[in-house]
Structure 1
Amino acid sequence: MVDFDVVDLPEADHVAEGDEAPDFTRPLVTDEYWEDVALSDLLADDPVLLVFTPMDGAFPATYLWNELRDRGVHDHRVQVAGVSISTPYEHKTTIAERGIEAFAGLFSDPQNGVADAYGVSHDLDGMAGVSEPRPAVFLVDEDGTVAYAWVADEWPAFPDYDDVEDAVASI
Protein backbone atom coordinates (compact mmCIF):
# COMPACT_ATOMS: atom_id res chain seq x y z
CA MET A 1 0.00 0.00 0.00
CA VAL A 2 1.25 3.48 -0.87
CA ASP A 3 1.93 5.58 2.24
CA PHE A 4 1.71 8.97 0.53
CA ASP A 5 -0.87 10.82 -1.51
CA VAL A 6 -0.53 11.14 -5.25
CA VAL A 7 -1.15 14.81 -6.04
CA ASP A 8 -2.21 16.19 -9.41
CA LEU A 9 -0.05 19.18 -10.32
CA PRO A 10 -1.47 22.16 -12.17
CA GLU A 11 -0.71 22.41 -15.86
CA ALA A 12 2.76 23.81 -16.52
CA ASP A 13 3.69 26.20 -19.32
CA HIS A 14 7.14 24.65 -19.67
CA VAL A 15 9.89 24.69 -22.26
CA ALA A 16 9.04 22.19 -24.99
CA GLU A 17 10.86 20.19 -27.64
CA GLY A 18 12.16 22.53 -30.35
CA ASP A 19 12.33 25.53 -27.99
CA GLU A 20 15.55 27.28 -27.12
CA ALA A 21 16.65 26.23 -23.63
CA PRO A 22 17.00 29.19 -21.27
CA ASP A 23 20.66 29.74 -20.38
CA PHE A 24 21.58 30.27 -16.75
CA THR A 25 24.57 30.39 -14.42
CA ARG A 26 24.49 28.69 -11.03
CA PRO A 27 26.95 26.84 -8.79
CA LEU A 28 27.63 23.44 -10.36
CA VAL A 29 28.61 20.96 -7.68
CA THR A 30 30.81 17.95 -8.43
CA ASP A 31 32.35 15.39 -6.11
CA GLU A 32 35.49 17.56 -5.87
CA TYR A 33 34.35 21.21 -5.81
CA TRP A 34 31.76 23.68 -7.00
CA GLU A 35 31.93 26.79 -9.13
CA ASP A 36 29.58 29.03 -11.08
CA VAL A 37 28.98 27.47 -14.49
CA ALA A 38 26.63 28.46 -17.29
CA LEU A 39 24.56 25.89 -19.13
CA SER A 40 26.04 27.28 -22.35
CA ASP A 41 29.54 26.42 -21.01
CA LEU A 42 28.51 22.77 -20.62
CA LEU A 43 26.92 22.77 -24.06
CA ALA A 44 30.25 23.82 -25.59
CA ASP A 45 31.46 20.26 -24.84
CA ASP A 46 28.45 17.97 -25.36
CA PRO A 47 24.65 17.92 -25.14
CA VAL A 48 23.21 18.14 -21.62
CA LEU A 49 20.53 16.04 -20.00
CA LEU A 50 19.13 18.60 -17.56
CA VAL A 51 17.26 16.84 -14.73
CA PHE A 52 15.07 18.84 -12.32
CA THR A 53 14.34 17.19 -8.99
CA PRO A 54 12.82 18.19 -5.68
CA MET A 55 15.28 18.82 -2.88
CA ASP A 56 18.03 16.28 -2.28
CA GLY A 57 16.98 13.43 -0.03
CA ALA A 58 13.36 13.43 -1.19
CA PHE A 59 12.55 9.95 -2.44
CA PRO A 60 11.70 11.08 -6.00
CA ALA A 61 15.17 12.62 -6.37
CA THR A 62 16.84 9.57 -4.86
CA TYR A 63 14.94 7.16 -7.11
CA LEU A 64 15.55 9.24 -10.23
CA TRP A 65 19.33 9.52 -9.66
CA ASN A 66 19.62 5.80 -8.89
CA GLU A 67 17.73 4.87 -12.06
CA LEU A 68 19.74 7.18 -14.34
CA ARG A 69 23.01 5.96 -12.80
CA ASP A 70 22.05 2.27 -13.05
CA ARG A 71 20.99 2.67 -16.69
CA GLY A 72 24.34 4.26 -17.55
CA VAL A 73 22.78 7.27 -19.26
CA HIS A 74 26.05 9.15 -18.74
CA ASP A 75 27.87 6.57 -20.89
CA HIS A 76 26.43 8.23 -24.01
CA ARG A 77 27.68 11.47 -25.58
CA VAL A 78 25.76 13.54 -23.06
CA GLN A 79 26.48 15.29 -19.79
CA VAL A 80 23.96 14.67 -17.01
CA ALA A 81 23.34 17.71 -14.82
CA GLY A 82 20.77 18.08 -12.07
CA VAL A 83 18.96 21.18 -10.83
CA SER A 84 17.31 21.54 -7.43
CA ILE A 85 16.83 23.98 -4.58
CA SER A 86 19.38 22.14 -2.44
CA THR A 87 22.59 23.81 -1.32
CA PRO A 88 26.05 22.88 -2.60
CA TYR A 89 26.73 21.09 0.70
CA GLU A 90 23.65 18.91 0.28
CA HIS A 91 24.58 18.23 -3.35
CA LYS A 92 28.06 17.00 -2.36
CA THR A 93 26.44 14.50 0.00
CA THR A 94 23.93 13.39 -2.66
CA ILE A 95 26.67 12.87 -5.26
CA ALA A 96 28.59 10.63 -2.85
CA GLU A 97 25.54 8.74 -1.55
CA ARG A 98 24.04 8.14 -5.02
CA GLY A 99 27.38 7.29 -6.68
CA ILE A 100 26.84 9.84 -9.45
CA GLU A 101 30.40 11.17 -9.61
CA ALA A 102 30.45 10.51 -13.38
CA PHE A 103 27.66 13.03 -13.95
CA ALA A 104 28.54 16.63 -14.86
CA GLY A 105 27.23 17.71 -11.46
CA LEU A 106 24.25 19.20 -9.69
CA PHE A 107 23.29 22.87 -10.06
CA SER A 108 22.34 24.56 -6.80
CA ASP A 109 19.33 26.84 -7.32
CA PRO A 110 17.94 27.69 -3.85
CA GLN A 111 15.76 30.53 -5.16
CA ASN A 112 14.27 28.19 -7.82
CA GLY A 113 14.92 30.72 -10.61
CA VAL A 114 16.07 28.12 -13.14
CA ALA A 115 12.88 26.11 -12.61
CA ASP A 116 10.90 29.33 -13.10
CA ALA A 117 12.70 29.98 -16.40
CA TYR A 118 11.92 26.44 -17.59
CA GLY A 119 8.30 26.63 -16.42
CA VAL A 120 8.62 23.78 -13.92
CA SER A 121 8.46 25.64 -10.60
CA HIS A 122 5.92 24.24 -8.15
CA ASP A 123 4.63 26.16 -5.12
CA LEU A 124 4.53 23.93 -2.07
CA ASP A 125 1.11 23.76 -0.43
CA GLY A 126 0.76 25.68 2.78
CA MET A 127 4.18 27.33 2.59
CA ALA A 128 4.09 30.96 1.51
CA GLY A 129 6.92 31.79 -0.86
CA VAL A 130 8.37 28.26 -0.90
CA SER A 131 8.71 26.41 -4.19
CA GLU A 132 10.76 23.66 -5.73
CA PRO A 133 11.09 22.20 -9.20
CA ARG A 134 8.59 19.57 -10.22
CA PRO A 135 10.38 16.53 -11.64
CA ALA A 136 11.37 17.25 -15.24
CA VAL A 137 13.93 16.15 -17.82
CA PHE A 138 15.19 18.21 -20.76
CA LEU A 139 17.74 16.99 -23.29
CA VAL A 140 19.46 20.08 -24.69
CA ASP A 141 21.44 19.86 -27.96
CA GLU A 142 24.80 21.61 -28.24
CA ASP A 143 23.07 24.45 -30.11
CA GLY A 144 20.79 25.06 -27.11
CA THR A 145 17.65 23.51 -28.59
CA VAL A 146 15.51 21.21 -26.46
CA ALA A 147 15.53 17.81 -28.18
CA TYR A 148 13.46 15.98 -25.53
CA ALA A 149 11.20 17.22 -22.75
CA TRP A 150 9.29 15.45 -20.00
CA VAL A 151 7.56 17.27 -17.12
CA ALA A 152 5.65 15.62 -14.27
CA ASP A 153 1.91 16.24 -14.15
CA GLU A 154 1.50 14.63 -10.74
CA TRP A 155 3.58 14.05 -7.63
CA PRO A 156 5.30 11.73 -7.43
CA ALA A 157 5.95 10.96 -11.08
CA PHE A 158 8.91 9.67 -13.02
CA PRO A 159 9.87 9.88 -16.69
CA ASP A 160 9.67 6.89 -18.96
CA TYR A 161 13.32 5.93 -18.59
CA ASP A 162 13.30 3.98 -21.87
CA ASP A 163 12.24 7.21 -23.64
CA VAL A 164 15.04 9.13 -21.91
CA GLU A 165 17.57 6.47 -22.97
CA ASP A 166 16.27 6.52 -26.54
CA ALA A 167 16.53 10.33 -26.70
CA VAL A 168 20.07 10.30 -25.31
CA ALA A 169 21.15 7.49 -27.64
CA SER A 170 19.80 9.31 -30.69
CA ILE A 171 21.73 12.52 -30.11
Structure 2
Amino acid sequence: MPDFDVVSLPETDHVDEGDTAPDFARPLVDEEYWEDRALDEVVDGPTLLLFHPMDGAFQATYLYNTVDDHGWAEDLDVLALSISTPYAHKRLLSERGDGIRAFSDPGADVVEEYGLAHDVDGMTGITETRPAVFLLDSDRTVEFAWVASEHPEFPDAEAIDGAVERLVD
Protein backbone atom coordinates (compact mmCIF):
# COMPACT_ATOMS: atom_id res chain seq x y z
CA MET A 1 0.00 0.00 0.00
CA PRO A 2 1.54 3.35 -1.00
CA ASP A 3 2.24 5.86 1.77
CA PHE A 4 0.56 8.62 -0.26
CA ASP A 5 -2.91 9.25 -1.60
CA VAL A 6 -3.74 9.01 -5.28
CA VAL A 7 -5.51 12.26 -6.13
CA SER A 8 -7.71 12.85 -9.16
CA LEU A 9 -6.78 16.04 -10.98
CA PRO A 10 -9.50 18.27 -12.40
CA GLU A 11 -10.21 18.06 -16.12
CA THR A 12 -8.23 20.49 -18.19
CA ASP A 13 -8.24 21.83 -21.72
CA HIS A 14 -4.66 20.87 -22.58
CA VAL A 15 -2.70 20.77 -25.81
CA ASP A 16 -3.66 17.57 -27.63
CA GLU A 17 -2.87 15.45 -30.68
CA GLY A 18 -3.24 17.39 -33.92
CA ASP A 19 -2.62 20.76 -32.21
CA THR A 20 0.43 22.88 -32.91
CA ALA A 21 2.47 23.03 -29.73
CA PRO A 22 2.50 26.67 -28.58
CA ASP A 23 5.82 28.42 -29.03
CA PHE A 24 7.53 29.97 -26.02
CA ALA A 25 10.97 31.27 -25.03
CA ARG A 26 12.56 30.28 -21.72
CA PRO A 27 16.03 29.41 -20.43
CA LEU A 28 17.05 26.09 -22.03
CA VAL A 29 19.53 24.20 -19.87
CA ASP A 30 21.99 21.48 -20.77
CA GLU A 31 24.71 19.98 -18.58
CA GLU A 32 27.06 22.92 -19.18
CA TYR A 33 25.12 26.17 -19.57
CA TRP A 34 21.77 27.76 -20.39
CA GLU A 35 20.42 30.45 -22.65
CA ASP A 36 17.02 31.80 -23.60
CA ARG A 37 15.70 29.78 -26.54
CA ALA A 38 12.35 29.53 -28.26
CA LEU A 39 10.77 26.14 -28.75
CA ASP A 40 10.39 26.95 -32.45
CA GLU A 41 14.18 27.47 -32.70
CA VAL A 42 15.07 24.08 -31.26
CA VAL A 43 12.43 21.84 -32.84
CA ASP A 44 13.91 20.84 -36.19
CA GLY A 45 12.87 17.20 -36.24
CA PRO A 46 11.01 14.70 -34.07
CA THR A 47 11.01 16.03 -30.51
CA LEU A 48 9.78 14.55 -27.26
CA LEU A 49 8.60 17.33 -24.92
CA LEU A 50 8.23 16.21 -21.29
CA PHE A 51 6.52 18.28 -18.61
CA HIS A 52 7.34 17.19 -15.08
CA PRO A 53 6.92 18.45 -11.52
CA MET A 54 9.79 20.18 -9.76
CA ASP A 55 13.23 18.64 -10.13
CA GLY A 56 13.74 16.17 -7.32
CA ALA A 57 10.13 14.97 -7.43
CA PHE A 58 9.93 11.23 -7.98
CA GLN A 59 7.84 11.77 -11.14
CA ALA A 60 10.74 13.69 -12.72
CA THR A 61 13.18 10.94 -11.79
CA TYR A 62 10.82 8.34 -13.23
CA LEU A 63 10.44 10.21 -16.54
CA TYR A 64 14.19 10.73 -16.95
CA ASN A 65 14.87 7.07 -16.14
CA THR A 66 12.21 6.05 -18.68
CA VAL A 67 13.90 8.19 -21.35
CA ASP A 68 17.18 6.39 -20.61
CA ASP A 69 15.60 2.92 -20.42
CA HIS A 70 13.90 3.34 -23.81
CA GLY A 71 16.76 5.14 -25.55
CA TRP A 72 14.53 7.96 -26.82
CA ALA A 73 17.35 10.53 -26.72
CA GLU A 74 19.19 8.40 -29.29
CA ASP A 75 16.34 8.67 -31.82
CA LEU A 76 15.01 12.19 -31.32
CA ASP A 77 15.51 15.43 -29.44
CA VAL A 78 14.26 15.21 -25.85
CA LEU A 79 13.28 18.43 -24.10
CA ALA A 80 11.85 18.75 -20.61
CA LEU A 81 10.08 21.60 -18.84
CA SER A 82 9.31 22.30 -15.20
CA ILE A 83 8.99 25.21 -12.82
CA SER A 84 12.47 24.50 -11.42
CA THR A 85 15.29 27.02 -11.87
CA PRO A 86 18.14 26.61 -14.33
CA TYR A 87 20.43 25.81 -11.38
CA ALA A 88 18.18 22.93 -10.30
CA HIS A 89 17.97 21.70 -13.91
CA LYS A 90 21.76 21.69 -14.18
CA ARG A 91 22.00 19.46 -11.10
CA LEU A 92 19.29 17.10 -12.36
CA LEU A 93 20.80 16.84 -15.84
CA SER A 94 24.26 16.10 -14.42
CA GLU A 95 22.78 13.23 -12.39
CA ARG A 96 20.37 11.70 -14.87
CA GLY A 97 19.75 13.65 -18.03
CA ASP A 98 21.83 12.03 -20.75
CA GLY A 99 20.81 13.68 -24.00
CA ILE A 100 18.06 15.80 -22.41
CA ARG A 101 17.81 19.59 -22.28
CA ALA A 102 15.35 21.28 -19.94
CA PHE A 103 13.39 24.53 -20.11
CA SER A 104 12.98 26.50 -16.89
CA ASP A 105 9.50 27.99 -16.31
CA PRO A 106 9.44 29.19 -12.66
CA GLY A 107 6.42 31.45 -13.25
CA ALA A 108 4.49 28.51 -14.78
CA ASP A 109 3.40 30.64 -17.74
CA VAL A 110 4.19 27.90 -20.27
CA VAL A 111 2.60 25.31 -18.00
CA GLU A 112 -0.57 27.45 -17.97
CA GLU A 113 -0.52 27.94 -21.75
CA TYR A 114 -0.33 24.18 -22.31
CA GLY A 115 -3.27 23.60 -19.91
CA LEU A 116 -1.18 21.61 -17.43
CA ALA A 117 -1.15 23.79 -14.31
CA HIS A 118 -2.32 22.72 -10.89
CA ASP A 119 -1.74 24.10 -7.43
CA VAL A 120 0.56 22.15 -5.17
CA ASP A 121 -1.28 21.03 -2.03
CA GLY A 122 -0.06 22.82 1.06
CA MET A 123 2.08 25.32 -0.87
CA THR A 124 0.19 28.58 -1.22
CA GLY A 125 1.02 30.39 -4.44
CA ILE A 126 2.98 27.51 -5.97
CA THR A 127 1.69 26.23 -9.29
CA GLU A 128 3.38 23.30 -10.97
CA THR A 129 2.80 21.11 -13.97
CA ARG A 130 1.04 17.82 -14.06
CA PRO A 131 3.20 15.24 -15.85
CA ALA A 132 2.70 15.26 -19.62
CA VAL A 133 4.39 13.92 -22.74
CA PHE A 134 4.07 15.41 -26.21
CA LEU A 135 5.72 13.98 -29.32
CA LEU A 136 6.18 16.76 -31.88
CA ASP A 137 7.04 16.61 -35.55
CA SER A 138 9.35 19.18 -37.16
CA ASP A 139 6.43 21.65 -37.53
CA ARG A 140 5.55 21.34 -33.80
CA THR A 141 2.41 19.35 -34.61
CA VAL A 142 1.56 17.10 -31.67
CA GLU A 143 1.65 13.52 -32.95
CA PHE A 144 1.18 11.91 -29.52
CA ALA A 145 -0.09 13.39 -26.26
CA TRP A 146 -0.39 11.99 -22.76
CA VAL A 147 -1.42 14.13 -19.78
CA ALA A 148 -1.79 12.83 -16.22
CA SER A 149 -5.35 12.76 -14.90
CA GLU A 150 -4.32 11.84 -11.36
CA HIS A 151 -1.37 12.28 -9.05
CA PRO A 152 0.80 10.32 -9.21
CA GLU A 153 0.40 8.85 -12.68
CA PHE A 154 2.97 7.81 -15.27
CA PRO A 155 2.79 7.54 -19.06
CA ASP A 156 2.64 4.22 -20.91
CA ALA A 157 6.21 3.94 -22.20
CA GLU A 158 5.25 1.31 -24.77
CA ALA A 159 2.66 3.67 -26.27
CA ILE A 160 5.37 6.33 -26.53
CA ASP A 161 7.70 3.77 -28.13
CA GLY A 162 5.05 3.05 -30.77
CA ALA A 163 4.49 6.75 -31.47
CA VAL A 164 8.24 7.37 -31.74
CA GLU A 165 8.61 4.44 -34.17
CA ARG A 166 5.79 5.76 -36.37
CA LEU A 167 7.28 9.26 -36.45
CA VAL A 168 10.98 8.46 -37.01
CA ASP A 169 10.57 5.60 -39.50
Q: Give the TM interval when normalised to the shorter protein.
A: over 0.9
Residue 102 (1) aligns with residue 99 (2): yes
When the two structures are aligned, how many residues end up with a matched partner?
Answer: 167
TM-score by length of 1: 0.94
Identity of counterpart residues, as a percentage? 56
Residues in 1 aligned to 2:66 and 2:98: alpha-carbon distance in whole angstroms = 14
Q: Secondary structure at the match of 2:162?
A: helix
By how many angstroms is 1:20 displaced? 1.1
Counterpart in the other structure of 1:12: 12
Q: Secondary structure at the match of 2:84?
A: coil
Q: Secondary structure at the match of 2:27?
A: strand
Residue 83 (1) aligns with residue 81 (2): yes
Aligned AA for 2:59?
P
Counterpart in the other structure of 1:38: 38
Q: 1:125-168 deviations in whole A, cap 9, x for unaligned?
A: 34332110000001111112111100000000000000111111
Residues in 2 aligned to 1:107 and 1:69: alpha-carbon distance in whole angstroms = 19
TM-score by length of 2: 0.95
Residue 161 (1) aligns with residue 161 (2): no
Residue 57 (1) aligns with residue 27 (2): no
Residue 125 (1) aligns with residue 135 (2): no
| Cα RMSD (Å) | 1.0
Residue 26 (1) aligns with residue 48 (2): no
Q: 1:62-113 deviations in whole A, cap 9, x for unaligned?
A: 111111112101121x210000000011001101111x2312x000000011
| Structure 1: 4+ residue segments shifted above 2 A | 125-129
